[in-house]
Amino acid sequence: MLRYALIFLIIAIVAGVLGFGGIAGAASQIAVLLFWVFVVLFIVGLVMHLARGRGASL
């Protein structure tokens, strides 16, 4: 999912450079949304892992 956020970020940057403001805005909003969904899922997964009683193993 983080890969999709990076892809939409690159699309937003390219569209912004080329002057497509609407497309750049939409792509950047999608990238931000996907990034935050990824962060929330990562935190939930981390909490669930620690709640099971297993610590981080090295």
pLDDT tens for 6-39 read: 887 888 888 878 887 787 788 888 888 888 988 8
| C-alpha–C-alpha distance, residues 30 and 51, integer Å | 31
Give the SS3 label for residue 47: helix
Distance CA 32, CA 34 (A): 6
Residue 16: the pLDDT is: 79
What are the tokens at 58? 């090295």
* Helix, strand, coil abundance in the chain, percent, nearest 5: 85, 0, 15
| pTM given for the model | 0.62
Average confidence (pLDDT) over 53-58:
60
pLDDT score of 24: 78
Q: Cβ distance 12 to 31 under 8 Å?
A: yes
